[in-house]
Amino acid sequence: MPQEAPEPWKWSVGEASWVGLPPRQPPSRGLAGGRRERLFGRQPLLVEGGGGDHGRSVSASSAAAAVQREAAPRQGGAAGRAAARQPQPGSPAAGGAARSGGRGRDRDRRDTEYCRVGKQSVLIMLGYNSALLQFKSQAEYNTFSNAVKRCRSQKKNSVFSQRTDEASAAQYFQFYGCLSQQQNMMQDFVRTATYHRAIVQNYTDFTDKVVLDVGCGSGILSFFAVQAGARRVYAVEASSMAKYAELLVRSNNLSDKITILAGKIEEISLPENVDVVISEPMGYMLFNERMLESYLHSKKWLKSNGMMFPTYSDIHLAPFSDEQLYMEHYSRANFWYQEWFYGVNLSSLRSAAVDEYLQQPIVDTFDVRILMAQTVKYTINFMEAAEEDLHRVEIPFVFQMMQSGLIHGLAFWFDVAFVGSLVTVWLSTAPTEPLTHWYQVRCLLQTPLFAKEGETLSGEVLLVANKRFV
């Protein structure tokens, strides 16, 4: 069954425009629900600012610096896919600070929590670890507190935060934080086998190299990089999926090779530059979900002679004729034809309803015989492109019609290339290739166009990013 969902991108061709694509999922299923967790029972590590008998002695400034380093990778969702913990309405986290018995409680975004204990102590919880900081003076506590505030302010102003609606991102990352969705992607044989082949067959590009895995999810690509000989892999994942990836790394005895960093690629810090960046950043119609921008952002950690897997992508488009699909969506608005719905005339809304139904992109697959012209290809080289290049993408097209008939819309799909030193491997989502979980995408015209064989159809597809994922 085709599926529809609202608003990560807006598309337009001439007078027609479309909005909406969901996160990747089986077309017959809705969004997978996420669950919110809170971690308790963590063993605190005592850290004293005044050099007492217990714990390690630190200054307020060094403690703040340590918290700044640790807190950054654990802040909420990211373009690296998965679910951030979101305070629920009415919870202490949502309310800011809940007080009991003189103890304050606050939360630094999602996964990092801290609370003030007394006047000069702070309990900080970072994932599964906790640290009790006891300061020698009020001045040292103030120094620490101000450093934390600066850190939080920097995260709020990150590239990711500026371009992303927070509520939408939280829902999106919650979806990708589900093991069921990771399973959906991993069980896509074409996807997983192609990545494995691209990495392992280009082993010379990974042997003894440092690799960055952007949006690692379960960490499967990081494991492939180690199999190809990588010396060290930094796997960045911004949500609850990070703890599952960490568990897989430990259970496979690869903690000395793979380091899981929980956070947004736009906000985390790496201890060194990398030789190769790997990622699976493609959404429906390539651009959906805006993960590509995070992939391009990761190049700030790439060495000048570094490599990216995937290396570039081609998006293909072609006009199609499908009367049944068009009428199926057009007729959905017939409900609004009614002039006596419990005594109410609904017909004034029918035109708006037709527009709404026809603006929804359709994620499914189709027989290539419905295509009416040879495809037009638009290439994006990830080694050269900048994030800003994806904020507004203009794709001009000129189609030479191969048959006469009604044009009901445009069909889209993409290919990506992994250009290695030994082989170039392609991953294709074309309708002529084995089906993947990306399927293909079709956008309907508000009014079909009649074209004769040999005529030319020209125009431009305009893709404009917005701040919403889902």
Dihedral sign for Cα atoms in the order 144, 150, 152, 155: negative
> What whole-number distance in Å separates Cα of residue 428 and Cα of residue 413?
8
pLDDT for 157: 63
Q: Which of 60, 289, 307, 338 is nearest to 199 (CA)?
A: 307
**Is residue 115 a contact partner of residue 105, using CB atoms and an 8 Å limit?**
yes
> What whole-number distance in Å separates Cα of residue 19 and Cα of residue 464?
10
> What whole-number distance in Å separates Cα of residue 107 and Cα of residue 123?
11
pLDDT for 145: 75
pLDDT for 302: 97
pLDDT for 195: 98
What is the pTM (predicted TM-score) of this model? 0.70
Angle of the 179-186 helix axis to the 166-176 helix axis, nearest 10: 70
Q: Which of 292, 244, 307, 254 is nearest to 80 (CA)?
A: 292
Four-point Cα dihedral 72, 76, 77, 82, nearest 10: 110
**Is residue 98 a contact partner of residue 113, using CB atoms and an 8 Å limit?**
no
Strands (E), 258-340: 258-262, 274-279, 302-309, 312-320
Listed as ranges, residues in the chain with pLDDT below 70 are: 1-112, 127-128, 149-166, 168-169, 172-173, 467-470
- Tokens representing 111 are 């996964």
pLDDT for 180: 86
> What whole-number distance in Å separates Cα of residue 111 and Cα of residue 108?
8
Provide CB contacts within 8 A for 269, sequence distance 6+.
69, 72, 73
pLDDT for 24: 64
pLDDT for 169: 63
pLDDT for 96: 34
**Cα–chain center distance at 83:** 10
> What whole-number distance in Å separates Cα of residue 205 and Cα of residue 310?
13
**Is residue 267 a contact partner of residue 300, using CB atoms and an 8 Å limit?**
no
CA distances from 83 to 70, 129, 294 (A): 19, 20, 16
pLDDT for 41: 30
Strands (E), 170-286: 210-214, 232-237, 258-262, 274-279
At residue 268's C-alpha, the angle toward residues 194 and 167, to 5°, is 85
